[in-house]
Amino acid sequence: MAAISGGMSSVPPSVPGVDRNLDTSAHPAAIDVRGMNFYYGDHQVLYDISLMVPERSVTALIGPSGCGKSTFLRTLNRMNDLIEGARCTGECLVEGQNIMDPAVDVVLLRKHVGMVFQKSTPFPKSIFENVAYGPRVAGERNRAVLADLVESCLRRAALWDEVKDRLQTSAMALSGGQQQRLCIARTLATNPRIILMDEPASALDPASTDRIENLIGELCANYTIVIVTHNMQQASRVSHQTAFFFKGRLVECGPTTTIFTSPSEKQTEDYITGRFG
Amino acid sequence: MSTASIPPVSAEVSGTPVNFRSGNDPWIRRRLLVSRAFLWSCRVVTYSSLAILGVLLASIVWKSLGRLSPNFVTSYTSFNPEKAGMLAGIWGTFWLVALTALFSIPVGIGSAVYLEELAKDSFIVRVIRVNLSNLAGVPSIVYGILGLTIFRPLMDSLEILFDGRHAIKVLGLFRIRLLQLEIFDGCVLAGALTVSLVILPTVIIASQEALRAVPSTIRVASLALGATRWQTIWRQVLPAALPGISTGVILSISRAIGEAAPLMMIGVLTMTSLCPGGIESPLQVLMNPSRLLAVPFDQFTAMPVAIYDWSKQPDPQDRFAAVAAAGIVVLLAVLLTINATAMLVRARAARNLKW
């Protein structure tokens, strides 16, 4: 238990905007997963996952590589549909509607459940076009509306001041951290309710990571965020709720402070204190 | 046990000053020699083939000097080598390539998009993918036979379009006179369809490779932003693949210009004073655009066919050799122009991308 108390004292302070003592039980569920099983062909990747994500809060998914947390994240906006042979059973309610239903329009779903990837993936177009892409494919043609939207999204992603004078230059010329914030701005431009982040800062330097984490703190006032991360410190800094995945199972899920100070499962405790993984 | 295999550092070795100047160690000298020999053999093969090409070009240009003049490209062929010109071949090739591009570009890119982006990995799709490269290797004469057995009868069956065998009725409003009686013997349309078959596998393979080179992250990111599959392909994937696709298309078109075998197979004209649709200058297209409608159904000759024909003309003084050489020079000039345009187009397409 000494290791645990050591862990307790080392829980870092949360970023501004993330109040770990926030009582999320009062928040309605943005995502409610019930008994989800996931298979790649015959290979089962997720076993009977049930998880509730409260609205306007940050949920961190942690666990060793290959534990299924990224796969789980991608089921939430059905990005796994793109993988041939992927199959999913169970229920996944997003704002009360089961998105596993074949009648669900994935295009609409992905507009409301945005996603930021581990590797920043700007399109080979200008910064402006990158942010305007989502609204454009949704049918917005008015230049002035697009310009306003691009500005407000870049501001919310804390990138505006750095790029406002070169909106027409290539997004590929931005630094890694700027590209990742651009991808966040691009996601915000589709006006999502939920943002999924798959290790958004794992390829970034500490300063850029810091900016992304602060950004999450600002965004969680208005958006529901689910973030996959390998970085324990990051999970504890940015999230209200933490879920620990191991070998395709959800071992434990609870308020971040509890998970990091007094987890109820031995596996969680071992992982968080760095005994494995 | 492993420590035993490592030789002890000898005081003598570490003490000797090392001479970095080359030429001391025979082993290193040998390796340098081999490396230099390799470099020179690469140089020799590159420049020798270039030299042969240069000699070939120079001799052709030299031979062509006897006939190459402005009126060579403005006059029809003739049994008099002093007067024989390439006008019919130039227009024939122009229409042939225009129609070929019209058929093969949309079909080729469309097939590539389907095979790369949309098709599920089924048995049939796998068979098609594997056999495309086989098709690209099929000699063009085989396609010529295919054209002869399929497209010519197909054209014949289109007879309802025609009034007798001399004119096309256009929506019952007006008629366009055709220039030849035997309208379907090797008409431009049959030729273009046949040559399209020849180049389609290459167009598809080149487009597939260009599409495959587009990072999949672009597709995933686009779909994650709520774009449909069509929007993702049209707005992200195709623009990113366009430089590669256009290179493949242009190379294939160049090949189409040079094809003679399949055209002779379907029976194009050789000695002819006919331009398809009777169009002899760009101005006539503007003056009488309805003639364009007759173009696909007219007989024609193409540049390589005309060159082949001249090279076979019996002439005691071999004066047609100069005509054939002049034809080759014009053909090469056209090819170079097209390739140069292709480079411009490619550069344009690449500039719109901001990698």
C-alpha B207/C-alpha B249 separation (Å) is 8
Mean pLDDT, residues A52-67: 91
> Any CB–CB contact under 8 A between B122 and chain A?
no
> Is residue A66 situated within a structural domain?
yes
**Which residues numbered 130-149 in A keep a CB inside 8 Å of some CB on B?**
133-134, 136-138
Q: Is residue A150 part of a domain?
A: yes
Residue type at B108?
G
Q: What is the pLDDT of residue B164?
A: 52
**Residue B175 half-sphere exposure toward CB, CA atoms < 13 A:** 9
Instruction: Over range A41-67, report the average pLDDT.
Output: 91
Comparing alpha-carbon positions, the chain A residue that sits nearest to B230 is A137
- Tokens representing residue B259 in the block: 């094809």
B32-39 mean pLDDT: 94
Residue numbers in B near A133 (CB within 8 A): 222, 225, 227, 235
Average per-residue pLDDT for chain A: 87
B229, closest residue in chain A (CA to CA)? A107
Are A236 and A10 contacting, i.e. CB atoms less than 8 angstroms apart?
no
Q: What is the pTM of this model?
A: 0.79
Asked if the structure places residue B37 within a domain, the reply is: no
- Is some CB atom of chain B closer than 8 A to the CB atom of A3? no
pLDDT band at B169 (very low <50, low <70, confident <90, very high): low
Q: How many domains does chain A have?
A: 1
Within a domain: residue A24? no
Asked whether A171 and A182 are in contact (CB, 8 A), the reply is yes
CB B347, CB B339: distance < 8 Å: no
Query: Taking a C-beta distance cutoff of 8 angstroms, is the pair A189, A131 a contact?
Result: yes
Closest CA to B309 of B275, B271, B274, B273: B271
Report the share of chain B in percent with pLDDT over 70.
85
- Specify burial of residue B27 (Cβ count, 10 A radius: 0-12, 13-18, 19+): exposed
The secondary element (H helix, E strand) that includes residue B67 is: none
Chain B residues whose beta carbon lies within 8 Å of the beta carbon of residue A108:
226
Under DSSP, the state recorded for B235 is I
Distances (CA, A) of A121 to A163, A172, A180, B221: 17, 9, 8, 7
When CB atoms are compared, the residue of A82, A173, A187 closest to B223 is A82
In a domain, A8, yes or no: yes
Q: Where are the alpha helices (DSSP H) in B87-149?
A: 87-113, 123-136, 140-146
Residue B54 included in any domain: no
Write the CATH number for A228.
3.40.50.300
Establish if B1 belongs to a structural domain: no
Return the SS3 of A46: strand
pLDDT at res. B12: 58
3-class DSSP string for A114-140: EEECCCCCCCCCEHHHHHHHHHHHCCC
A122-136, B9-23, B262-276, B285-299 — which one is most confidently predicted on average?
Answer: A122-136
- Asked whether residue A5 carries a pLDDT value surpassing 80, the answer given is no
Segment among A20-34, A263-277, B156-170, B268-282 with least mean pLDDT:
B156-170
Residue B263, classified by CB atoms within 10 Å of its CB into exposed (0-12), middle (13-18) or buried (19+), is buried
What is the residue range of A195's domain? 2-18+31-272
| Contact list, A168 vs chain B (CB under 8 Å) | none
| pLDDT over threshold 70, residue B162 | no
CATH number at residue B291: 1.10.3720.10
- pLDDT surpasses 60 at A242: yes
Q: Is A117 on the interface with B (CB under 8 A)?
A: yes
In whole angstroms, what is the distance from residue B213 CA to residue B203 CA? 16
A111, B236: Cβ pair inside 8 Å?
no
Residues of A in contact with B355 (CB under 8 A): 124, 170, 172
pLDDT digits (tens, 9 = 90+) for B54-108: 999 999 898 888 777 787 777 787 777 777 778 888 888 889 999 999 999 999 9
CA–CA gap between residue A219 and residue A190 (Å, rounded):
15
Tell me the shortest Cα–Cα distance from A246 to chain B, in angstroms: 26
- CB of A202 within 8 Å of any CB in chain B? no
C-alpha to C-alpha distance for B12 and B6, rounded to whole angstroms: 17
Residue B257: which domain range? 65-352
The residue with greater pLDDT, A153 or B313, is A153
pLDDT of the residue at A187:
92
Could you report the per-residue pLDDT of B223-280, keeping only the tens digit for each?
999 899 999 999 999 999 988 898 889 889 888 888 888 888 877 777 777 778 777 7
Give residue B44's pLDDT.
96
* Res A277 pLDDT > 60: no
- Cα–Cα distance list, B7 to B10, B15, B307, B319, B332 (Å): 8, 16, 74, 81, 67
What's the rounded Cα separation, in Å, for the pair B334 and B345? 16
Strand partners, A53: A31
Amino acid at A109: L
In a domain, B26, yes or no: no
Rounded to an integer, the average pLDDT of A186-214 is 89
Out of A82, A111, A125, the one facing B226 most closely (by C-beta) is A111
Distances in Å between the Cα of A29 and the Cα atoms of A5, A54, A75, A268, B281 are 32, 4, 17, 24, 73
B223 in contact with chain A, both atoms CB, cutoff 8 A = yes
User: Using the beta-carbon criterion (under 8 Å), do B226 and A79 form an inter-chain contact?
Assistant: no
Number of structural domains, chain B? Answer: 1
Q: For residue B227, what is the nearest residue in chain A, using CA coordinates?
A: A137
> Position of tokens 């499962």?
A265
What ipTM was estimated for this complex?
A: 0.85
Within a domain: B25:
no
pLDDT tens digit sequence for B127-149: 998 898 888 888 888 888 888 88
Give the model's confidence band at A3: pLDDT under 50 very low, under 70 low, under 90 confident, else very high: very low
For testing the chain B interface, which of A105, A137, A182, A194 should be mutated: the one with the most B CBs within 10 Å?
Answer: A137
Q: Across residues A57-83, what is the average pLDDT?
A: 90
- Say if residue A20's pLDDT is above 50: yes
Q: How far apart are CA A263 and CA B97, in angstroms?
A: 73
pLDDT (average), residues B298-310: 85
pLDDT of B112 higher than 90: yes
Average of per-residue pLDDT across B146-157: 74
Residue A25 lies in a domain: no
Rg of chain B taking only CA atoms, in angstroms: 29
Contact A93/A32 with Cβ under 8 angstroms?
yes
Pairs of CB atoms within 8 A across A/B: 72
